[in-house]
Amino acid sequence: MARELPKRIVAVALALLAVVGSALAQEERPLRVIAANAVKGGLQELSELYQEQSGRRVEITWSGTEATTRRIAGGEAFDIVLIGSDAIGKLVEAGYLAADGQKPVARTGVAMAVRSGYAPPPIGNAEAIRSAVVAAPRLAYSAGPSGAYVEALLARLGVSDLVAPKLSRPLSGAEVARLVASGQVDLAFAQVSEFLGVPGIQYLGPLRENLQNYTTYVAAVPSRGHHGDAASFIRFITSQAASNAIRTMGMEQPR
């Protein structure tokens, strides 16, 4: 028995070292974030500030909300996800994300844009939008949160069947903006933040308040294990100090 005791002590010590080593290795690796394209401008700036102030590395993968949902369901490893609140809720229900620890980061509304050289139509009311959509030879909106709302809006305006043959619907608003910039579509809807600063488009502005719909982007962590710095990064990007970066990308902090 006396001879077995040192062996047990050694075994316990080795197990503790393995646990500590694993934890240290996790803290040394970058913080892995999957984020919606809609928040790219501001979040990139905030992540750089966080890295400067904390000395921690952050790696961000940019993706549309629908594509992000598929990646997480497919088992991709991450520490934080930042996408639309509806998608976050579905991933929580499916068991992929922790039910607690979610934090709203920013919200943005739906906007319209046309390609360079296309005559900008008025969009000040529902009838103007209906006329613009019917007149446009090629139209686009995404399969993400803004696109779901636009689809319902066009149904209310009674033009769903008219636009179907000329509609492009990529996975993300960033792809919608690229279609407009390249001249492949004439008129498009996306989040405000996805159109701002994109060369080659004419930005028409957000929908009027009585027609507007806002998407709130929420940060969440996986249900099974994440980086120890995840909570501090989320606190940083939701702090009052982050408000300027969020406004710069055409968003606002949730009220």
Query: pLDDT tens digits for 200-229?
Result: 999 999 999 999 999 999 999 999 877 889
190 occurs within a structural domain: yes
d(CA 58, CA 64): 19
Average pLDDT over residues 113-138: 97
Contacts of 161 (CB under 8 A, 6+ apart): none
Please check whether residues 137 and 184 belong to one and the same domain.
yes
Shared-domain flag, residues 103 and 221: yes
| Burial grade of 74 (CB within 10 A; 0-12, 13-18, 19 or more) | exposed
Q: Is residue 128 part of a domain?
A: yes
User: Under a CB-based contact definition with an 8 Å cutoff, are residues 185 and 138 in contact?
Assistant: yes
Would you say residue 158 lies in a domain? Answer: yes
Rg (CA), the chain: 23
Same domain membership, residue 78 and residue 53: yes
Q: Do 125 and 47 belong to one domain?
A: no
Closest CA to 132 of 122, 124, 140: 122
Residue 3 is predicted with a pLDDT of 52
Domain assignment of residue 255, yes or no: no
pTM for the structure as a whole: 0.80
pLDDT band at 7 (very low <50, low <70, confident <90, very high): low
Question: How many domains is the chain built from?
Answer: 2
The secondary structure element, H or E, covering residue 184 is: none
Burial class (CB in 10 A: 0-12, 13-18, 19+), 191: buried
Tell me if 110 sits within 8 A of 150, measured CB to CB.
yes
In a domain, 13, yes or no: yes
Q: Quick: pLDDT tens for 131-163.
A: 999 999 999 999 888 999 999 999 999 999 999
pLDDT of 177 strictly over 90 = yes
Q: Which domain CATH number covers 195? A: 3.40.190.10
Whether residue 237 contacts residue 44, with contact meaning beta carbons closer than 8 Å, is answered with no
pLDDT range class, residue 8, cuts 50, 70, 90: low
Residues 177 and 241 in one domain: no
Residue 147 belongs to a domain: yes
Q: Is residue 48 part of a domain?
A: yes
In contact, 159 and 130? CB cutoff 8 Å: yes
Beta-carbon neighbour count of residue 15 at 10 Å? Answer: 10
Q: Do 9 and 99 share a structural domain? A: yes
Same domain for 222 and 210, yes or no, is no
Are residues 143 and 57 part of one domain?
no
If asked whether residues 57 and 85 sit together in one domain, one would say yes
Q: Write out the residue range of the structural domain in which residue 64 sits.
A: 4-107+216-248
Across 45-59, average pLDDT: 94
In sequence order, what E strands does the chain have?
31-36, 58-63, 80-84, 103-115, 139-140, 167-168, 187-191, 201-206, 214-220
Confidence of residue 124 (pLDDT cuts 50, 70, 90): very high
Q: pLDDT band at 77, cuts 50/70/90?
A: very high
Q: Are residues 128 and 204 in the same domain?
A: yes
User: Is it the case that residue 89 has pLDDT exceeding 80?
Assistant: yes
Supply the pLDDT for residue 23: 42
User: Taking all residues of the chain, what is their mean pLDDT, rounded to a whole number?
Assistant: 88
d(Cα 28, Cα 47) in Å, to the nearest integer? 17
Give me the mean pLDDT over the 23-52 stretch.
84
pLDDT tens digit sequence for 10-30: 444 344 444 334 444 445 789
* Same domain for 241 and 173: no
196 and 153 co-located in one domain: yes
In a domain, 253, yes or no: no
